[in-house]
Amino acid sequence: MSNDVSAAYAGWPAIVTKYREPNMRKSIWQLANSFGGLFVCWTLMYFSLDVSYWLTLLLAIPAGGFLVRIFIIQHDCGHGSFFKSKRANNITGRVCSVFTMTAYRYWRKTHAVHHAHHAELEERGTGDMWTMTVDEYLAAPWWTRAAYRVFRNPFFLFGLAPTLNFVVLQRFPLGVHKEWHHGERASVMWTNLALLVVLTAVSLLIGFWTMVAILLPSIVIASSAGTWLFYVQHQFERTYWEHTPQWEYTLAAMKGSSYYKLPKVLQWFTGNIGFHHIHHLSPRIPNYNLQACHDENPLFQRVTEITLRSSVRTIPLALWDEKRDELVTFKEALQQQPEMTPTT
């Protein structure tokens, strides 16, 4: 069956070729409106502190949106798709990383692993979201089950964890593998140094607590939104997971990634990342070419489409059921647990 489905998408490499060319004008304009919009929001937030902090928090919403958009630019630079020049991509990506609080080279490496092994059961653990199978969960000790339950709780997963990840965990090269180059570890340290310099300068200019009052809500909103996007683009009921011998790149992209159909304003703030199936097929397509690639080729429209309303239904899904080839809830998984036979 998988071979038949994979064959249905044959020919996609030739189709995407014309969409992989970066456009300097579009890239520069995206940089200008993303960073420009963020600075305007932060300036308005600063002056709004004299009016009402509720107004400041309201302005943090678009500020968080611009931070997400800057992360998408960093993301494209990491794939080498934002500019033709490798040097321009790397410089731009490093500048973005100070605002996203995510070391460019370290993240680029972990994200490359995600693309190379997404939905491959034997390769979980780097650049992905912790996902257990039903059998793994049922066989796990109680403390692993408890930790996984906490991790998958929506208040933790989309509330506390994103800010903890970007503000704290990204300060340490915890996921650097021994075989990686030293540059991945060094990039975390250099990013931390750049953040220290920038935040110190800003706090001296406007005051430490004023800086926190402006930056923290922006970061919380951007972190949670970004985590939600990453979640919903892969964690839906009829997604794709497979063991290494049967795993296929094309199916991992087209069945294991969704088309998150967002309202235009949200699509703009998220840099078209909702066309995630196409992005996984061809990461070298700049974000501003993804919609055209989707709209102009019916082949890429044969994919799971998720809307804002339907995406809410993905929240309870937590475990991959290998027997049913779908994500299931904890309740559904526990129904498969064999009852203990009482001893006499």
Q: For each successive 10 residues of the chain (344 residues), what is the average pLDDT?
A: 62 91 96 98 97 97 98 97 96 97 92 91 89 94 96 96 93 72 83 96 96 97 96 94 93 94 96 95 96 94 93 95 94 74 44
* pLDDT at position 261: 96
Calpha distance 42→215 (Å, rounded): 8
Q: Is the dihedral of CA 10, 15, 17, 21 positive or negative?
A: negative
- HEC letters along the chain: CHHHHHHHCCCHHHHHHHHCCCCHHHHHHHHHHHHHHHHHHHHHHHHHCCCCHHHHHHHHHHHHHHHHHHHHHHHHHHCCCCCCCHHHHHHHHHHHHHHHCCCHHHHHHHHHHHHHHCCEHHHCCCCCCCCEEHHHHHHCCHHHHHHHHHHHCHHHHHHHHHHHHHHHHHHCCCCCCCCCCHHHHHHHHHHHHHHHHHHHHHHHHHCHHHHHHHHHHHHHHHHHHHHHHHHHCCCCCCCCCECCCCCCHHHHHHCCCCEEECCHHHHHHCCCCCEHHHHHHCCCCCHHHHHHHHHCCHHHHCCCEEEHHHHHHHCCCCEEECCCCEEECHHHHHCCCCCCCCCC
pTM of model > 0.95: no
The sheet carrying 319-321 orders its strands as: 132-133, 319-321, 326-328
Backbone angles phi, psi at 300, to 5 degrees: -85, 0
pLDDT of residue 173: 77
Burial 46-83 (b: 16+ CB within 10 A, else e): bebeeeeeeebeebbebbbbbbbbbbbbbbbbbbbbbb
Q: What is the pLDDT of residue 67?
A: 98
Q: For position 184, what pLDDT does the model report?
A: 83
